[in-house]
Amino acid sequence: MKYSNSAAIITTISLLATPATALFAGGHGVMVGGAEMVDTKTIVENASASADHTTLVAAVTAAGLVDTLQGDGPFTVLAPTNAAFDALPAGTVDTLLEPENVETLKAVLTCHVVAAKAQAADVIKMIADDGGEHVVGTAGGCQLIAKYDNEKVTFTDENGNVGTVTIADVPQKNGVVHVIDTVLLPKSE
């Protein structure tokens, strides 16, 4: 199946789970976690303003990745919400945030980062071009499987965990963020 640019734009719009009236504050940026995300701020600056991403920001800080994600990029970040972190087994987040587990925390977080800027339309096109699924290599070495079905983009990690994009194409000075509903994990040994 081939996608035209207009089909990709329509598809991208359909990915947005937030009502259109809530997407734009003053017509400048997408609203995430009660805050306007604007393309003049970095990924870390925007995420820090989102009430839905406090756990992610704490994890990025504990892992020492703030400077990296404030760098030039471009990056695509699949940003799990607080609810996604809360869905992990009890004690997982607290354990990951302990200083002795910093390497494991980095491995988890970098499974959510791609060293390129990929808008939703780009991802959907790659999936279509590859016959229904596309392998996405992350900065942390994870191999995610991207799929598009029922007007939703999903990313499946090497353990079978599936993250669904709930808000696509959140603009950043140094890339783009796609909010997801699941924490993706490196391959279990």
- CATH for 18: 2.30.180.10
Does residue 189 lie in a domain region? no
Average pLDDT over residues 167-188: 94
Residue 34's pLDDT is what? 86
Does residue 122 lie in a domain region? yes
Residue 28's pLDDT is what? 54
In terms of pLDDT, which residue wins out, 8 or 41?
A: 41
Percent over 70 (pLDDT), the chain: 84
Pairing of strands 75-80, 175-180: parallel
Q: What is the pLDDT of residues 140-174, one digit of tens each?
A: 999 999 999 999 999 999 999 999 999 999 999 99
Does residue 188 lie in a domain region? no
Does residue 187 lie in a domain region? no
In terms of pLDDT, which residue wins out, 89 or 27?
A: 89
Q: What is the pTM of this model?
A: 0.84
Does residue 185 lie in a domain region? no
Q: What is the pLDDT of residues 45-75, one digit of tens each?
A: 999 999 999 999 999 999 999 999 999 999 9
Q: Above 80 in pLDDT, residue 105?
A: yes
Q: Above 60 in pLDDT, residue 26?
A: no
Hey, what are 133's tokens? 């699924």
Q: Classify each residue of 92-117 as buried b or exposed e, where b means 16 or more C-beta atoms within 10 Å of its C-beta.
A: ebeebbeeebeeebbbbbbbbbbeee
Residue 20's pLDDT is what? 32
Does residue 46 lie in a domain region? yes
**Number of domain units in the chain:** 1
Domain housing 29: 5-180
Hey, what are 53's tokens? 């991403």
